[in-house]
Amino acid sequence: MQKQFRNVVVASMAAAIVLLAAMLGGAQAPAYRAPRTGDGKPNLNGIWQALNEANWDLQGHAAGHGPVAALGAAFSLPPSLGVVEGDEIPYLPAAAAKKKENQANWTKLDPEVKCYLPGVPRAAYLPYPFQIVQGPQNIMMAYQYAGGVRIINMGPATKAPGDSWMGWSNGRWEGETLVVDVTSLNDQTWFDRAGNFHSDALHVVERYTPRSADTLMYEATIEDPKVFSRPWKISMPLYRRVEKNARILEYKCVEFAEELLYGPLSKKP
């Protein structure tokens, strides 16, 4: 009887040790573990902002002329090492030509100039803050620019009712990382002011990983078989706006684009 008991105890001990080993060895211990929300998830609440030149051009480039001579150096192209892994955006040949054409005419063609919604991933690296409001069922990302907004569904994935500017986002947690799968984006947005564009077949997978108390690592894998020969990836840190009483403010930019869009239709004096 005692021998049987002893065997059972040894067996459970062995099982427990195996379990413990699996827990510690199998899981990749992340460098930083974020504080948790009340429902046990990494806490991404806060106001965040990219601090780079990605909105000018995702790829690395030296400084250059701006588009408006009257604004001189104040609105010139700042230098950048770029945010594209491998620094190459793998356009299909026809699409590469369109990119060049976009770039040459960007002030006329860039939807940002018209105060159009920026789409994904550009919304994350516009030079303006955005706010993450994290609930258990839904995570809202409210972007200051043009009042852009999207809601990430954290429940079972749902299908988009149709194409939209900000796409349809389904999210899930992978350890410390918020993974967001974005589909049903329309073909109207650009990736940057350099004319990098996509079709309505765009599929973006984003990863938001807390890196420290006040930084997130943001990665986006971009896939669009109509425009690119393979998926490609961008990555960059996002920084918390730590000033007391930080807010995202109203930025209804339609007013600032109206003269450009409707000026020619005004009554001649």
Judged by beta carbon, residue 29 or residue 73, the one nearer other proteins is 29
- List strand residue ranges (DSSP E) for 9-106, in order: 46-50, 59-61, 80-82
Polymer length in residues for the chain: 269
Q: Distance between CA 128 and CA 81 in Å, rounded?
A: 20
Shortest approach of other proteins to residue 43 CB, angstroms?
7
CB of residue 113 vs other proteins: minimum separation in angstroms? 13
- Give the Å distances, CA to CA, from 1 to 6, 204, 205, 210: 9, 62, 58, 53
Binding footprint of other proteins, residue count (CB under 8 A): 61
Among the listed residues 145, 125, 147, 144, the one whose alpha carbon sits nearest the alpha carbon of residue 49:
125
Residue 182 as a binder of other proteins (CB under 8 A): the answer is no
User: Peptide bond preceding 121: is omega within 30 degrees of 0, i.e. cis?
Assistant: yes
Tell me how far, at minimum, the Cβ of 183 lies from other proteins, in Å: 13
Tokens read off for 129: 């803050």
Of positions 58, 123, 139, 194, contacts other proteins by CB under 8 A = 139
Q: Which of 48, 116, 128, 232 binds other proteins (CB under 8 A)?
A: 116
Tell whether the torsion through CA atoms of 180, 192, 253 and 200 is positive or negative. negative
**Is the C-alpha dihedral spanning 227, 229, 230, 235 positive or negative?**
negative
Of the listed pieces 97-105, 126-134, 174-182, 226-234, which binds other proteins according to CB under 8 A?
A: 126-134
Regarding 137 and contact with other proteins (CB under 8 A), the answer is yes
Tokens of 42: 């990494």
Q: Is 86 helix (H, G, I), strand (E, B) or coil?
A: helix
Interface with other proteins includes 4 (CB under 8 A)?
A: no
The token duo for 212 is: 């420290």
If one asks whether residue 262 binds other proteins (CB under 8 A), the answer comes out as: yes
Distance between CA atoms of residues 37 and 259, nearest Å: 46
Q: Which of 25, 74, 156, 245 binds other proteins (CB under 8 A)?
A: 245
Q: Of the two residues 37 and 221, which places its CB atom closer to other proteins in the complex?
A: 37
Nearer to other proteins, 75 or 173 (CB): 173
Residue 55-94 contact track with other proteins, rule CB under 8 A, x = bound: ----------------------------------------
DSSP 8-class letter at 113: G
Residues that bind other proteins (CB under 8 A): 2, 5-6, 9-10, 12-13, 16-17, 19-20, 23, 36-41, 43, 45, 115-117, 131-140, 142, 146-149, 151, 158, 161-162, 164-166, 188, 245, 247-250, 252, 254-255, 258, 261-263, 265-267
